[in-house]
Structure 1
Amino acid sequence: MKKPSDTQDSNYGIGDLLGLGSQSVRKNYYPALQERIEELEQERNRYKWLFENALHGIFQANLRGGFLACNPAMARICGYDSPDHLIGKVIRLREQLFCSSAEFDQIRQELLDRGSLSARETRLMRADYTPVPVAITLLRRPDLGPEVVEAFVADITERVQAREKLEQLNQDLERRVEERTEALQNAILSKDKYLAAASHDLLQPLNAARLMISALQDSQLPEQEARMVHQVHRALEGAEELLADLLDISKLDQQAMKPDLVYTDLENLLQGLGEEFEAVAANAGLDFRLRLKPAVVRTDQRMLTRIVRNLLSNAFRYTTSGGVVLGMRKAGGKLRIEVWDTGVGIAEDKLQDIFTEFHQLLPQGTGGRQGVGLGLAIVERMVRILGYQVEVSSRPGRGSRFVVMLPLASARPAPAPSAPVPQLSTADGFDGANVLVIDNEPAVLESMSVLLERWGCRVLTSASEAEALSLVNQGKEPDVILADFHLDNGRTGCQAIHGLRKRLGRPVPAAVITADRSDETRQLMRAQSLPILNKPVKPNRLRALVTSLLPAMP
């Protein structure tokens, strides 16, 4: 016979545990429970669907072992047929999944230290032992085990290939840029050589014509012929200035002009420029004053001379009445070279435009001698190369002021030994001095002969070093040698001067006259202590050069 308690115990079930022991309770709560269970089942199915159909790999694993679970996407990424295939084959993540054991160890340590890693790029090993680049996000699950992790894995093969392609394109681009740069440099070098050759060819006939015209100007000509000669002289002068400007602006733009800094007596340099422009002021009927003081600077003499000469030329070009002042002023460890004029002035909104190429202050036809607009562009570039500053201020109709600021030299260099006292007077001529001219251009030889003979020189001419040596062998010894730099057959005037000095056994005073305006040639002349005069030769500079050489006669 059963005990009541036995009957009661046998009827005790899940409903009693959930508080649904009585029929009335079950009737009230069963629908709500069933609905909740169905919701949980739907959510479970949804997550299961997402897990199985996700594009990215998802897995749960033990870092000290292998996979605990994974989805089909993870199996595909690693090249396995199914998740079970992957789980069965990869039982050690360190050796069988990660391409680099060292990188796995680093990832494991970072996970233990930080608890998670986000979008870490690495490489996993596929079933065929080929690497696959992935971005992996890992999260530690210490609630499931000390080294249990869950992970999301994205196959980034396309991204890596695109990045590698981009890197390759960048390398190709850099290589092409280097090739183009080299080609451009070669082109610039070729252009420099072409410009040097073209300038030589252009300046040679211009030089001959200029010297011939100068000889004619020294002659007694009827008024009409004298006026025509003067007009030709002005035309040649303009052509010379334009060609020199074009050559200089080309070299400056190609950064082919490098400063050659030497200690310079600035007062003496500016005094020479002042004497050069005295005739310009006299011809224009303008007042020209110098306000100079002793000062030493370390500068490129040729560039600074060109800067100040261009500023003075500009001042005289646009000044029709009044005058021009060239002055110096010291301020705060710097020296200010100032050029003032009482010319047409410049509108305030045009003050910066004047430093651009081919910009003119006045339109054509407004009077005055017009330039081509390169003078101030050259000033701006040379000032920049030397590290100086240039400022301009102006009042339209009242005049302008240009200022070049440069540092003073920290110490004055020891003065150079004084030159010997001239023994030959050149006030009225050169008193029959023997001047040997070496040039491979017949027209230049003829024009130099005409001009020098008018100054009282006895002129010897030769087209080469060999001809000059032949003259010496005939007993015709020169007092001065004036040699063109580029002679025929690759020979130079320097070599000719050296050969003649060796044959004569004495350092005959000599200078090089050339159309080559390169820095290399200028430095070569300085190294050999040879004065240099650029073509087209200005008669007053040629006369000054010959005068400076003659006192050195024994």
Structure 2
Amino acid sequence: MKKASDPDGYSVSELLGLGSHSARKSYYPELSARMADVETERNRYKWLFENALHGIFQASLTGGLRAANPALASMLGDGSVDATLARCTTLAALFVNPEDAVEMQRRVVAEGRVAGYTTRLQGRDGRQVPVAMTLVQKPSDDDEPLVEAFVADITERERARERLLQLNARLEGRVQERTLALERVNAELRQEIRERRRIEEELRQARDAAEQANRSKDRYLAAASHDLLQPMNAARLLVTSLLERPLADEPRDLAERLQLSLESAEELLTDLLDIARLDHDRIQPQLENFSLRELTDCLEAEFSSLAQGKGLRFRQRVVDARVVSDFRLLGRVLRNFLSNACRYTSRGGVLLGSRRRGDTLWLEVWDSGPGIPADQRQSIFREFHQLDAPRARDRRGVGLGLAIVERVVTKLGHPVEVRSRPGHGSCFAVGVPLGESCPSPGVAPPAALPGHSLVDRRVLVIDNEPSILASMQALLEGWGMRCLLALDAEEAREATTMPPDILLVDLHLDAGVTGDALVTQLRDYWERPALPAVILTAERGEAWRQRLDEAHLPVLNKPLKPGKLRALLDALLSHDPLA
């Protein structure tokens, strides 16, 4: 430590902890050697003290700095150690905050040693130096409490900490900005979700309203179709009855034109109803294993007279096989094929044939009509599409038959093929899976026996529409049948004391009575459980069809096709055991 009596400015005895009365000179060799060692150690510690990287100072707890090294002076910005000692005449003058000096003194006295004490030292010209100090209390010869301190400049560490704090602050600011942005986005998303839910609710309400409107439309369409088909049915029956009587050329021509108009109106209405039911999945296939001959014989009886009326030759060449399909829907497909073939063929003939390919039986309808160009064989399955009919007077039908075919075969899973040569004719074919050879009960009526007569057979017709009864009477009596009429069950029992040969009963009668229930009542009343009966209806619902199929009651849809009715009557009466 620097003293006035020390020419070099440091007291070796103070640094080494030797007393002031240590011997400077010895007359003994051992003492001389010991003093040389001490001097070497003194020089080494002096060199370390002066060249240490960290600051070192010694101070009195009651006074100021007593010694300091150049590193401390440089740290505080003083030009020399003397400047540092002169400036720090008190210990408190060394600290920026005098309370730190008091705290340091208290802790050193209490603990004897303080490690890593951080504070700020007061430098030259107001400089403040952040430091970390380790302080050790040192006893003094004059009983003055001393402390030795080792000082590390932590300016860079503090700057790094401040930079870290600034970075953290900026990061927090960015986090807050991002958080606010996310909150805005979340708010927008919540608003979008609320808007989407509102739109979905509106769409749901619109869908419910549309479904309700569709249900109302379907109910209206069903009611309207029933009301339309009833008078149309009566008109068709009356016209057919009229045409079967001898007429002059002009009245017959008018009657035939009227029949064609009624057929067109009936076809349009029936096709529209079927399209609506197919598009709304109201028709579900009921696949079964049945004899194909049951279907094709009915088709032959129905279309042979139609073809003959146009001067065409009708032939059936279908093998006697069993297939797996829906009897009624497959019949609709073939009827549409045959109807188109008869409608568009002006000379030649129509053939209903079959061809086997593996496990599939292809039912083919051939005609000798005008044929179909190759580029239009797909478009013919679109609704209301007709070939070469730009003008209304050239159109035949309404162009819904093949659109219905496409929907039906899609539900059945049956493939369809179209082959045609323009100017030579066309072939429409549907592929049906072959069934097992074992017999199974079918829902179609048995085929008619050729040449069987309806003359003098007694038929009871029950319908709540007087116009229908009058029309049916005119038609059936024209075939030579004896016709009995009734509006309800009571009149049916009063119409005859003995059972008729066959019943023709409307499905929906007054007071909620249904035709199938009335057939059961009358069979019980006359004790004829096998009395033949046919249900006549404009109802095309799937539930009713299945119900009547389970009751084994054949059904004819209104408007009635007289040819189909006659074929069915022939078939049922020819198999009646009491016939």
Relative to structure 1, is the Cα distance of residues 315 and 44 closer, same or farther in structure 2, using a 3 angstrom cutoff? farther
Match of 2:486 in 1: 462
Match of 1:512 in 2: 535
- The 5 A counterparts of 1:108-507 are 181-365=207-391, 370-413=396-439, 427-431=452-456, 433-472=457-496, 475=497, 477-507=499-529
| SS of structure 2 residue aligned to 1:391 | strand
Match of 1:150 in 2: none
For residues 109-133 of structure 1, give each alpha carbon's deviation from its aligned partner in whole angstroms, at most 9, with x where no partner exists. xxxxxxxxxxxxxxxxxxxxxxxxx
| SS of structure 1 residue aligned to 2:51 | coil
- In the aligned structure 2, how far is the partner of 1:373 from the partner of 1:213? 25
Does the 8 Å CA contact 1:434/1:458 hold for their aligned counterparts? yes
Does the 8 Å CA contact 2:297/2:447 hold for their aligned counterparts? no
Instruction: Report the count of equivalent residues.
Output: 443
- In the aligned structure 2, how far is the partner of 1:201 from the partner of 1:446? 17
Q: CA deviation at 1:292?
A: 1.8
Tell me, yes or no, if structure 1 residue 546 matches structure 2 residue 572: no
Q: CA deviation at 1:200?
A: 1.1
- In the aligned structure 2, how far is the partner of 1:394 from the partner of 1:535? 34
| SS of structure 2 residue aligned to 1:279 | helix
For residues 371-422 of structure 1, give each alpha carbon's deviation from its aligned partner in whole angstroms, at most 9, with x where no partner exists. 2110110000000011111122334444333221222124533588xx9999
- In the aligned structure 2, how far is the partner of 1:373 from the partner of 1:531? 29
Does the 8 Å CA contact 2:298/2:447 hold for their aligned counterparts? no
TM-score, normalisation: structure 2: 0.67
**Alignment root-mean-square deviation, CA:** 3.9
| SS of structure 1 residue aligned to 2:402 | helix
- In the aligned structure 2, how far is the partner of 1:327 from the partner of 1:216? 34
- In the aligned structure 1, how far is the partner of 2:348 from the partner of 2:276? 35
| SS of structure 1 residue aligned to 2:385 | coil
Does the 8 Å CA contact 1:364/1:370 hold for their aligned counterparts? no
Q: CA deviation at 1:177?
A: 5.6
Does the 8 Å CA contact 1:56/1:155 hold for their aligned counterparts? no
- In the aligned structure 1, how far is the partner of 2:224 from the partner of 2:447? 41
Relative to structure 1, is the Cα distance of residues 436 and 285 closer, same or farther in structure 2, using a 3 angstrom cutoff? closer
Relative to structure 1, is the Cα distance of residues 318 and 428 closer, same or farther in structure 2, using a 3 angstrom cutoff? closer
Q: CA deviation at 1:513?
A: 0.9
- In the aligned structure 2, how far is the partner of 1:272 from the partner of 1:257? 22
- In the aligned structure 2, how far is the partner of 1:301 from the partner of 1:328? 17
Q: CA deviation at 1:247?
A: 0.8
| SS of structure 1 residue aligned to 2:366 | strand
- In the aligned structure 1, how far is the partner of 2:560 from the partner of 2:247? 23
Does the 8 Å CA contact 2:356/2:362 hold for their aligned counterparts? yes
| SS of structure 2 residue aligned to 1:340 | strand
Does the 8 Å CA contact 1:479/1:553 hold for their aligned counterparts? no
Deviates more, 1:504-513 or 1:528-537: 504-513
- In the aligned structure 1, how far is the partner of 2:428 from the partner of 2:446? 39
Match of 2:171 in 1: 54
> Which among 555, 558, 578 is matched to residue 535 of structure 1?
558
Unpaired stretches in structure 2, ≥5 consecutive residues: 9-42, 57-70, 75-153
Larger Rg: 2
- In the aligned structure 2, how far is the partner of 1:325 from the partner of 1:55? 88
Relative to structure 1, is the Cα distance of residues 367 and 340 closer, same or farther in structure 2, using a 3 angstrom cutoff? farther
| SS of structure 2 residue aligned to 1:54 | helix
For residues 255-311 of structure 1, give each alpha carbon's deviation from its aligned partner in whole angstroms, at most 9, with x where no partner exists. 101112222212442243234323333343444443321221121111111101111
Relative to structure 1, is the Cα distance of residues 9 and 461 closer, same or farther in structure 2, using a 3 angstrom cutoff? closer
Does the 8 Å CA contact 2:372/2:420 hold for their aligned counterparts? yes
Q: CA deviation at 1:239?
A: 1.3
Does the 8 Å CA contact 1:206/1:536 hold for their aligned counterparts? yes
For residues 215-267 of structure 1, give each alpha carbon's deviation from its aligned partner in whole angstroms, at most 9, with x where no partner exists. 11111111111111111111111111111111111111111011122222124
Relative to structure 1, is the Cα distance of residues 276 and 544 closer, same or farther in structure 2, using a 3 angstrom cutoff? closer
Percent identity at matched positions? 42
- In the aligned structure 2, how far is the partner of 1:332 from the partner of 1:550? 38
Relative to structure 1, is the Cα distance of residues 430 and 52 closer, same or farther in structure 2, using a 3 angstrom cutoff? same
Unpaired stretches in structure 1, ≥5 consecutive residues: 24-36, 59-72, 78-134, 136-152
> Which among 34, 44, 51 is matched to residue 12 of structure 1?
51
| SS of structure 1 residue aligned to 2:566 | helix
| SS of structure 1 residue aligned to 2:388 | coil
Match of 2:77 in 1: none
For residues 45-75 of structure 1, give each alpha carbon's deviation from its aligned partner in whole angstroms, at most 9, with x where no partner exists. 55432312434698xxxxxxxxxxxxxx6xx
